[in-house]
Amino acid sequence: MSQGSNIRADQGQPLVRLRNLSMNFGSVAAVRGINLDVLSRDFLAILGPSGCGKTTLLRMIGGFIEPSSGTIEIDGADVTRLGPERRPTNMVFQGYGLFPHMSVRQNVGYGLRIAKVPQDETDARVAEVLDLVRLRDLAERGVEQLSGGQQQRVALARALVMRPKVLLLDEPLAALDLKLRQAMQEELRRIRHEVGGTFVFVTHDQGEALGLANRIAVMEAGCVVQEGSPQEIYTQPSTRFVSTFIGEANLFPGECRGGQITLRSGGTFDAPGSDARVLVVVRPEDMHIGANATDSDIVMQGVLYDIVYLGAFVRYQVRLHDGQNVMIHSIDRTLQDTLFPGAEISFGWSSTIHRIIPDD
């Protein structure tokens, strides 16, 4: 990890470069021609559904699988054919892979012992990293006598103590229950802030990706389909898959002709763009109920068929005349008293806020 005056200089430089990276297991194309840069000091999330190739990609970066084709460069050096021990990376595996009969301290110090680091330096580095993950008081305990969250910290400490240039984490929080997962997210943010460095983590949990990462690469069927900041991914999804995998979305099919979009469910508005079939993407929280609209609003009518109180907001489900369902989230608690299932309502959104994507 960078120190002192280097930090600023290398901030935002590509540290890991993946070029045309592919991996085939027999006839299964697990990773297909990925081009991706991990920038120095990134906290990059690789996000996608089960089986899309996330673990395979991470294992290739870490050197645990040799790619079928393509190249991996880390810090300017081609490491494509190098094993894990010859790369400036370290990986925290899903399920942690701790040594069950060793204590916390022995687990964390293991890599340094193998690397023949002198004992006093090992002791100092282990103590430092145990402080970082707040496990100092449990150092002598066997790892089997730890909770899931504590084991997770040991796994993290064991990787961090090696001071990797790039830390790879495969579903680091998946084994934890919801409350613990949220607490560990906070911990990870703090740890990353304290040690700096570059983190790449895999998750199928969009909330985790949005909450932890400064950049997200969304994977679908072996490919990276979009990358950007959490905000870009959420507000400017580029495909149907991205718009529905990250957050919830209403998708209105329509036709763009001569700078105007006509929606299948009714409504026409001006929109630049070439003639094509399109989808208009609107987030449920960007919808409003009621007819009081401004000029930039698109308004529709439908029948309210479900109202669910979810604490922080109320979820309304509306069925349009063409059968399409629309989801509206509102934080306006007074609305709930005036609406009932079966009511015909007007609702809409501002055209300044929707996103238009190709319907392919």
Ligand X SMILES: Nc1ncnc2c1ncn2[C@@H]1O[C@H](COP(=O)(O)OP(=O)(O)OP(=O)(O)O)[C@@H](O)[C@H]1O
Contacts to Mg ion by CB under 5 A: 55
Told to check if 28 binds ligand X by CB under 6 A, we report yes
Cα radius of gyration rounded to whole Å, the chain? 25
Asked if 34 is part of the footprint of ligand X (rule: CB under 6 A), the reply reads no
Answer whether 212's CB lies under 8 Å from 188's CB. yes
How far apart are alpha carbons 108 and 99 in whole angstroms? Answer: 10
Q: Which residues pair with 329 in a beta bridge?
A: 315
Exactly one of 32, 41, 54, 181 binds ligand X (CB under 6 A); which one? 54
In the complex, least distance from residue 199 CB atom to Mg ion, rounded to whole angstroms: 17
End-to-end CA distance of the chain: 43
Shortest separation between residue 136's beta carbon and Mg ion, angstroms: 32
- Name the DSSP letter for residue 71: E
Please pick, from the candidates 9, 20, 25, 81, the single residue that binds ligand X as defined by CB under 6 A: 25
Burial 197-212 (b: 16+ CB within 10 A, else e): bbbbbbbbebebbbbb
Give min distance, CB of 158 to ligand X, in A.
21
Q: Is 30 in the site for ligand X (CB under 6 A)?
A: yes
290 lines the binding site for ligand X (CB under 6 A): no
Tokens of 316: 């309304």
Asked if residue 219 lies in contact with residue 206, where contact means CB atoms within 8 angstroms, the answer is no
The answer to whether residue 105 forms part of the interface with ligand X (CB under 6 A) is: no
Residue 60 or 289 having the CB closest to ligand X:
60
Asked if 32 is part of the footprint of ligand X (rule: CB under 6 A), the reply reads no
Residue-by-residue DSSP string for 202-244: EES-HHHHHHH-SEEEEEETTEEEEEE-HHHHHHS--SHHHHH
CB of 65 to ligand X, least distance (A): 8
**Sign of torsion, CA 350 351 357 360?**
positive
- Contact flag: residue 250 with ligand X (CB under 6 A): no
Q: Does 53 bind ligand X (CB under 6 A)?
A: yes
Q: Judged by CB under 6 A, which of 55, 80, 89, 122 binds ligand X?
A: 55
Residue recorded with tokens 């709930």? 336
Query: For residue 351, which of 277, 275, 300 has the smallest C-alpha distance?
Result: 300
> How far apart (Å, rounded) are the C-alpha atoms in residues 161 and 44?
20
Task: Give which of 308, 286, 313, 300 is closest to 344, Cα–Cα.
Answer: 300
Q: Considering beta carbons, is residue 51 or 273 the nearer one to ligand X?
A: 51
DSSP-derived 3-state class of residue 357: strand
Give the range of 47-55, 143-151, 223-231, 344-352 binding ligand X by CB under 6 A: 47-55
- What residues numbered 166-225 form the site for ligand X, per CB under 6 A? 204
Least separation in angstroms between residue 172's CB and ligand X is 13
Rounded to an integer, what distance in angstroms lies between the CA atom of residue 344 and that of residue 79?
Answer: 62
Q: Among residues 27, 50, 274, 294, which is the contact residue for ligand X, using CB under 6 A? A: 50
Residue 50 vs 292, nearer CB to ligand X = 50
Instruction: Confirm or reject binding of residue 18 to ligand X (CB under 6 A).
Output: no
- Quick check: 22 binds ligand X (CB under 6 A)? no
Residue number with CB closer to Mg ion (55 or 122): 55
Q: Which residues bind ligand X (CB under 6 A)?
A: 25, 28, 30, 48, 50-56, 204
